[in-house]
Structure 1
């Protein structure tokens, strides 16, 4: 074999091996997920237009995490579990998941993209329970693999967009410290995020400012008041709620800016560290806001805030 050809093969093998170590998927649960029931539904991936890029995932049956790690030389030790949005009907997996993971990796932050179950009736025993079960498991699983993934288990946060912001803020207000008697060592770990980043998030389930599609998909068309209040996360903030970074646009017609305003006010009342950036334009669903003038500053501001947490 010619030396040049052999060298090219070796380089390709090396790059493939490195990629396998820094970018791979894991099942979220060992065996069937809790609260799952068999149904006729099949997990469906919708493609965006003619470019065949992954865009949306619906009817999630096998929740996973996609682990994306920065190079060891760049790693800061921080990690973020990412919850893409989609109104609790689909997941905008590439737009709000993979793109965000790549951005965080470029700043030395490990990213764990969560493909969480959506609360439809057919494959969930109690539909509204599944997103929280999956976010808790993702947080515990990330901490369990902390040493292998070169991250600090005490510097693991969660980020969510739109309805994914509701999933993230639900974890931040409904976490538990783990079960020290559990046979599964993963279940012994805390599910509390060390910080949260909520990007144009759905927060409330109250009719005044909620996103009706997310509300209906999560808790039904005619939920009882107890369920409404349980998932109105501005009502669930305590002094133990993690430090939070919020981004929203005043002209958001899908998820009113009051979702972030009410959550921010609850954080202040409970003396929880919080930073909020409000933009006069942007609407809804802009992900990293690339090419959107001042709006495109939010990811850099978020990373700077994350890094500032280490100095506190």
Structure 2
């Protein structure tokens, strides 16, 4: 091997190491609400990375340099109608952008309700989101974040999961040291979120995948998150477009109205156009400025 080739390989390995990210299991001691089947996780690498049938939920960790770190952290819940996960489009791409603002980001690959491995489908995503917040809180010092500046961000059905976490963070049992930590996010960022399970405002696909095509009224009410806002609900930033044909903008309006009734610090931005699933909205005119509105709002948090 020539010296040139040797040093080239060393350089490439160094660059690869610098940009690689750690992925950790959510439940290293054993996944709750799980059973063994012959199902396997699928990943399609097309225009976006699309994941279905999640078998082992994980957190993918993106940390800014210590010099740029603000101490703030965000757990990101990609959307996908509770059928799959738009993992890079509404996950890792967002994490990289957050890092550019000094924010630590953690992409949550959460279990999906219709996976054969999940025994009780409707509560598996919430349990994974609760565990994600608790893991970040447990490892705050290691990851250079503040325990009281850990938020959650969700897109579409991931926005429903994020708002479920923000309104149902105490739901479920606490069985060990990690679970004894608070799962309450310190703030929420909801991007074109599904909020309600009530027709006709809900997103039909998300509702069917989460609680079934003919759900009992108790499940419709339980996962209509606008009904569970109270004074302890975290401060919330909401973004939607008026012409969203998949998730009606009324979802965001319902949640914002509930937040206002309870006096929760909140901000909503409704753009006239943008449709659904625009992610960072790069190249989409003034819609792409939504991230600046988010940074302004984050700076206003105490």
TM-score, reference length from structure 2: 0.95
1:1-312 maps to which residues of 2 (within 5 A)? 8=8, 11-20=11-20, 23-48=21-46, 55-120=49-114, 122-176=116-170, 182=175, 184-309=176-301, 312=302
Measure how far apart 1:15 and its partner are: 3.8
Could you report, residue by residue, the CA deviation over 1:257-276 in whole angstroms, capped at 9, with x for unpaired residues? 00000000000001000000
Measure how far apart 1:121 and its partner are: 5.4
Cα distance in 2 between the residues matched to 1:121 and 1:14: 38
Measure how far apart 1:33 and its partner are: 1.2
RMSD of Structure 2 on Structure 1 (CA):
1.9
- In structure 2, runs of 5+ residues without a counterpart are none
Could you report, residue by residue, the CA deviation over 1:97-156 in whole angstroms, capped at 9, with x for unpaired residues? 011011100110011000000000522111101000000000001111111111111100
Secondary structure at the aligned position of 1:60 is classed as: coil
Cα distance in 1 between the residues matched to 2:299 and 2:183: 21
Cα distance in 2 between the residues matched to 1:107 and 1:268: 28
Q: Judge conservation of contact 2:229–2:259 (CA < 8 Å) in 1.
A: yes
Cα distance in 1 between the residues matched to 2:171 and 2:137: 13
Measure how far apart 1:245 and its partner are: 0.2
Secondary structure at the aligned position of 1:112 is classed as: strand
Q: Judge conservation of contact 1:203–1:234 (CA < 8 Å) in 2.
A: yes
Measure how far apart 1:216 and its partner are: 0.4
Total equivalences in the alignment: 302
Cα distance in 2 between the residues matched to 1:273 and 1:114: 25
Could you report, residue by residue, the CA deviation over 1:44-91 in whole angstroms, capped at 9, with x for unpaired residues? 001216xxxx51000000100000011111110000000000000010
Could you report, residue by residue, the CA deviation over 1:2-36 in whole angstroms, capped at 9, with x for unpaired residues? 8776665554454444445xx21001111331111
Measure how far apart 1:178 and its partner are: 9.5
Measure how far apart 1:37 and its partner are: 1.5
Cα distance in 2 between the residues matched to 1:227 and 1:178: 15
Q: 1:121 to 1:283 in 2, by over 3 A?
A: same
TM-score, reference length from structure 1: 0.92
Could you report, residue by residue, the CA deviation over 1:132-188 in whole angstroms, capped at 9, with x for unpaired residues? 000000000111111111111110000000000000000000012998x85x32112
Q: Greater shift after overlay, 249-258 or 33-42?
A: 33-42
Secondary structure at the aligned position of 1:97 is classed as: helix
Secondary structure at the aligned position of 1:67 is classed as: strand
Q: Judge conservation of contact 1:160–1:197 (CA < 8 Å) in 2.
A: yes
Cα distance in 1 between the residues matched to 2:177 and 2:239: 35
